[in-house]
Amino acid sequence: MKLHILGCYAATPRTLTNPTSQVLEVKNHMFLIDCGEGTQVQLRKHKIKFSRINHIFISHLHGDHFFGLSGLVSTFRLLGREKELHIYGPKGIKEAITLLLKLGDSWTNYQLYFHELTNKGPEVIFEDDKITVETIRLNHRIYTNGFLFKEKLGERKLNVEAVAKHKVDKAYFQNIKNGRDVVLDNGTVIPNADLSFDPPTPKSYAYCSDTAYKPDIVEQITNATALYHESTFLESEVHLAVRTKHSTAKEAAAIAKAANVGQLILGHYSTRYKSIDLFKEEALEVFPNVELADDGKFFDF
């Protein structure tokens, strides 16, 4: 599971900072999460292949989280894309994007599917045999969702030496990986635990931006491998966080602590502060494992 931060600053693009967008690589998927202005430039800059992006998740319809989407959809067309593209976002996203395509007579030559979200509680919006993606209902000025990406438990790993020792036929290998015992021709039962190793512990990634402090999300994201949580303000400006329905670094850390996550990644910083290190310093007072997102930064979980 790898996370590429393309942009992680609040509100407006600047010469050295970009609004929110990130790419999560997991189980052969490359998911794009939010798509602020400049996203496709950042994709090129960091040599992330456009063609691998088949699913895009938009948290809410504020410009710093989706104004780059129409351009990316159009660029896919210019690049001759043929694979279908799925976009998950709040109701209204289809109207916004298709209006621009209509006015520019730039309809895609690939299948474009919109999955508009209206549910007020968590729901699974994507699932295959390796991963699920579910919404995390957040509290912002407009309808907003975070996203929880969860790996499914994989196959058990074959213990090659044990299999050879017991002279187990290859025909049983898949059953062993699936967790089954083996019955030899003479009736001897060999427990699966003697022939295989536990699969890797499934990883999970919780993305929460933008939101006011919302402790009722803790149950859903408990024990996540990593949590990205917005920290637009420091506690000295908590009154602004309350008014704009954003969070402080301290509040993000409180969520991470209560949820017992493995790692907290802060982002969506207001540019009023002289250094983003201040956010980490504040969060470390509450939670011990804090990292700072920054444009172009890469995390490997």
- Alpha-carbon distance of 176 to 178, in angstroms, equals 5
Please return the burial class of 15, using the count of CB atoms within 10 Å of its CB with bins 0-12, 13-18 and 19+.
exposed
Q: Are strands 157-158 and 196-197 parallel, antiparallel or unpaired?
A: antiparallel
Q: Which of 64, 129, 169, 295 is catalytic?
A: 64
Q: Are strands 29-35 and 290-292 parallel, antiparallel or unpaired?
A: unpaired
- Alpha-carbon distance of 13 to 215, in angstroms, equals 30
Please return the burial class of 211, using the count of CB atoms within 10 Å of its CB with bins 0-12, 13-18 and 19+.
buried
Q: Write down the residue that tokens 């990593």 correspond to.
A: 226
Q: In the annotation, is 216 catalytic?
A: no
DSSP state of 50: G
Token pair for 44: 């090129």
User: How many of the other CB atoms lie within 10 Å of CB of 254?
Assistant: 19
Query: Any idea which residues carry the catalytic annotation?
Result: 64
